[in-house]
Structure 1
Amino acid sequence: MIRYRLFEIWRLVAALLIMLYHFGHFAPGAGLAVKDELESLRPLLDMFFIISGFLIFTRYGDQVRDARSYGIYLYKRLIRLYPLHLATMSYFVLVGLLVLAGVLRSGGEPELYDWSALPSNLLLIQAWGVEDRLTFNFVSWSLSAEWFAYLLLPVIIVAYRQWGLAGLFALLFACYASLELMVRSGVMPFESWVKADTWGAYRTFADFVLGALLSLLVHRSRLSVSARWPAWIAILLACTSMVLQLNIYVTLFALAVAVFLAGLVERNDPERYTYPVFLRAAAAVSFGIYLWHPVTESMFFSYLWSHHIRSESIGLFFTYTGCVMLLTVFVAIASFRLFENTLSGYLLRVVGLARPKTVAKEARVSANR
């Protein structure tokens, strides 16, 4: 099984930047400029979704052929996503209850604890346009959006099996055209679909289609390139496009080129490591870092920094931030090894889908897809 190590390190860097962006909202004075600068990197979330579409289609595009295989596929994806979602959301439910009972003075942003939105969060539909703001573990909108894309994988598969690459290109065009129409008609209440979160499911599905298309292009390509530097240049150009705030489709094209080149070189030379080995554990848990960081933000910034430290020192703030970021990475690694992987293995065994021991280690590493 190909590891796609470039995807691993890119997703790790993106998760760290997103975490820094959210922590940066608590910076004193001029330190807020870091948060403002990172705001332009919002399309990195689209990179996450494109890579997810690439990996999911690569793994399941041939496997999902009937109702049973579709059910098995959904079960595997659900036990990968939902336990961590439920654990991190439960923290915010607990904090909300303590605030409601008057035990805590505040729990960060009061609007996070909207009890009417709890059912949609439990059902993972909060990013389908049913809510008007983010609640509880606010970043879990992206899980809701990915779940939407997982459910609609058969649409992508049918488009390809019926009409080939032309079918996927047509579906891709229809998805982004629909996003533009939804924004311009006011159906999607955002100035751009790039900023959609409570409506992020539709943005994510479009990115998934792009990822699936790139997976097929990599599979069919006869290019023998194995050098990593073109893929790195492409991803840096995509980030430059974000910083310069060029048209989103310029950025998407650069991201598509980067993902294509990364997939191609990993296919051609799958054994080469593209980042230091000591980062391997962290690179495998970018999903966990992304979901756990609002919890550490709540503890160490909304509460401890805001109510007890309250320093105006920018140096102290960013030293403190670095420590909390490192702690979050260790929490994500521990969560994956002791909770997520153990529970998912048990849930697979319960229904007779346990992975063979000979490939268990490799499967654990690739489970972050």
Structure 2
Amino acid sequence: MRRAAHEPMDRSPPRIARGGWLDALRFVVGALIILYHFREAAPVPLPELHPVFDRGYLLTDFFIIDSGYVLARIYGDRLAVGQASLRAYARQRVLRVIPAHLAVSLILVAIVGGAALAGVAPSDPRWFDWSQLPAQVLLVQAYGVPGGQGWNAPTWTLSALIGCYLLLPWTCRALWRWPPVLVVIGAVVLVAAADLAASLWLGDPIFRLPMRYGILRALPLFLLGVAAAYYGSRVYVAPRLAGAIGLAAAVALVMMQAFGAFSLLSLGLMTVIIWAAGAIPVLRPSRLIEHLALMSFSMFLTNEVSRIVWFGLLDALGQDTLPSGARWALWSVGFADAFAAAAVFRYGFDRPVQIWLNPSRRNRAVGDHAAVAAPRASGAVVSAEHAG
């Protein structure tokens, strides 16, 4: 029988690649996380305009799910059969996060310490309690260790994700032997059960657990992303159909937020959107989208520092006495500056350090240079080292 002209020759799922919908999603969500962190600094706190601005926890959870999806798509098959070096994988995951995290932490400490020496007190001193700093710098605040509050608070996500990263090899070995549909069902049941357990025993739903329980919040969501990746790498869905499903999920997600959080359902819809984006081949990769997505880790890591510095300066100069229009203009400048600062950090520090840590001669190892510096050759999208 002759193949129809419109029927694809290759019915295997496409490999994820740079410059496509996954990258676009990463940047858009990263931008929304910056907006979430800037919400209370606006002349009129944004949640007073609509409660959707207080639902930034869903954006953080998006990045956790996306982390599991992308890492499992890149490394899952090799980790499952033992073809990847666990030592090299662990080294790359840790080194992808630690240098940038330490650099931003030192910058923030220098700014706060320098201001203190100059006699300038922060607007909210509780945010810079020195006793909270060690747990945050060591990235242990997501494992029940006291401390880690304030300062660059969103780094609890990095703390939790490092644990998820290191568990991925054994996760893939356990899951890759089962049918994809069963893995997805199991992951959904796990998230629902974890949410029920967290609500009963800890007093908060899983998607809003405080940072000291960060690993308990992140791991089920990370596994949901891993399950979506396993399904996406095994089950072919025509790109047009995948796109239609993803678009329908996005529309449903946006419409729901007009009426309420519907958090668990929102997490499910976000997972569908991520899966659909990965099921669409990147036929014309965009270098701009690729670079914007690569900047998302720096956006996550630096936006709190940008917010603290900008609005701390404005408070010291007495912005409360300014008219509303001027304050909105200054808020907008601060919001835009957060992107500029992230770009400077990305290209001035993070990218050069990662290239130095992962030179091309080490391409034989499982690492970020293969996924970052040569993404088109590997067909891989950089992992979600930044969740925010």
TM range (shorter): 0.7 to 0.9
1:81, distance to aligned residue in structure 2 (A) = 1.3
What are the Cα deviations for residues 72-128 of structure 1, in whole angstroms up to 9, with x where unaligned? 1121122221122111111222244345x5524223432232333333222212122
- TM-aligned CA distance change 1:343 to 1:359, over 3 Å: closer
TM-score (norm 2): 0.81
- TM-aligned CA distance change 1:146 to 1:37, over 3 Å: same
- TM-aligned CA distance change 1:113 to 1:184, over 3 Å: same
Which one scores higher on RCO, CA 8 angstroms, separation ≥ 6? 2
Q: Does 1:154 find its partner at 2:175?
A: no
Pairing of 1:66-77 with structure 2 (within 5 A): 69-77=85-93
Q: For the Cα contact (< 8 Å) 1:159–1:167, is it kept in 2?
A: no
Give the aligned partner of residue 237 of structure 2. 223
Q: For the Cα contact (< 8 Å) 2:67–2:383, is it kept in 1?
A: no
Give the aligned partner of residue 347 of structure 1. 357
What are the Cα deviations for residues 323-354 of structure 1, in whole angstroms up to 9, with x where unaligned? 22222222222322231121112112499458
Q: Does 1:327 find its partner at 2:337?
A: yes
Give the aligned partner of residue 312 of structure 2. 302
Tell me whether 42-51 or 4-13 shows the greater mean CA deviation: 4-13
Equivalent position to 1:203, from 205, 214, 217:
217
Number of matched residues? 360
Equivalent position to 2:293, from 283, 295, 298:
283
Give the aligned partner of residue 313 of structure 1. 323
Give the aligned partner of residue 97 of structure 1. 113
Pairing of 1:96-135 with structure 2 (within 5 A): 96-98=112-114, 101-131=116-146, 134-135=149-150
- TM-aligned CA distance change 1:21 to 1:80, over 3 Å: same
1:150, distance to aligned residue in structure 2 (A) = 0.7
Residue identity opposite 1:182 in structure 2: A
1:4, distance to aligned residue in structure 2 (A) = 6.2
Q: For the Cα contact (< 8 Å) 1:49–1:146, is it kept in 2?
A: yes
Give the aligned partner of residue 192 of structure 1. 205
CA distance in 1, matches of 2:346, 2:268: 33
1:243, distance to aligned residue in structure 2 (A) = 4.1
1:50, distance to aligned residue in structure 2 (A) = 1.1
CA distance in 2, matches of 1:340, 1:154: 26
TM-score (norm 1): 0.84
CA distance in 2, matches of 1:342, 1:363: 20
1:27, distance to aligned residue in structure 2 (A) = 2.2
Q: For the Cα contact (< 8 Å) 1:311–1:317, is it kept in 2?
A: no
Give the aligned partner of residue 69 of structure 2. 54
Q: For the Cα contact (< 8 Å) 1:19–1:325, is it kept in 2?
A: yes
Q: Name stretches of at least 5 consecutive residues in structure 2 with no aligned partner.
A: 1-15
Q: Does 1:170 find its partner at 2:183?
A: no
Q: Does 1:88 find its partner at 2:130?
A: no
Aligned-residue identity in percent: 22
1:310, distance to aligned residue in structure 2 (A) = 2.8
Give the aligned partner of residue 145 of structure 1. 160
Q: For the Cα contact (< 8 Å) 1:145–1:204, is it kept in 2?
A: yes
Q: For the Cα contact (< 8 Å) 1:26–1:32, is it kept in 2?
A: no
Residue identity opposite 1:137 in structure 2: N
Give the aligned partner of residue 9 of structure 2. none
CA distance in 2, matches of 1:271, 1:159: 33
Residue identity opposite 1:193 in structure 2: I
- TM-aligned CA distance change 1:203 to 1:351, over 3 Å: farther
1:41, distance to aligned residue in structure 2 (A) = 4.4
What are the Cα deviations for residues 208-253 of structure 1, in whole angstroms up to 9, with x where unaligned? 1111111121122222223745423322322333442253221122
CA distance in 1, matches of 2:372, 2:110: 40
RMSD: 3.2
Q: Name stretches of at least 5 consecutive residues in structure 1 with no aligned partner.
A: none
Q: For the Cα contact (< 8 Å) 2:19–2:290, is it kept in 1?
A: no
- TM-aligned CA distance change 1:319 to 1:127, over 3 Å: same
Q: For the Cα contact (< 8 Å) 1:284–1:366, is it kept in 2?
A: no
CA distance in 2, matches of 1:155, 1:245: 37
Give the aligned partner of residue 272 of structure 1. 284
Q: For the Cα contact (< 8 Å) 1:230–1:261, is it kept in 2?
A: yes
Q: For the Cα contact (< 8 Å) 1:23–1:297, is it kept in 2?
A: yes
CA distance in 2, matches of 1:357, 1:367: 6
Give the aligned partner of residue 292 of structure 1. 302
What are the Cα deviations for residues 1-59 of structure 1, in whole angstroms up to 9, with x where unaligned? 61262222222222222212222212224766248541134312211111111100011
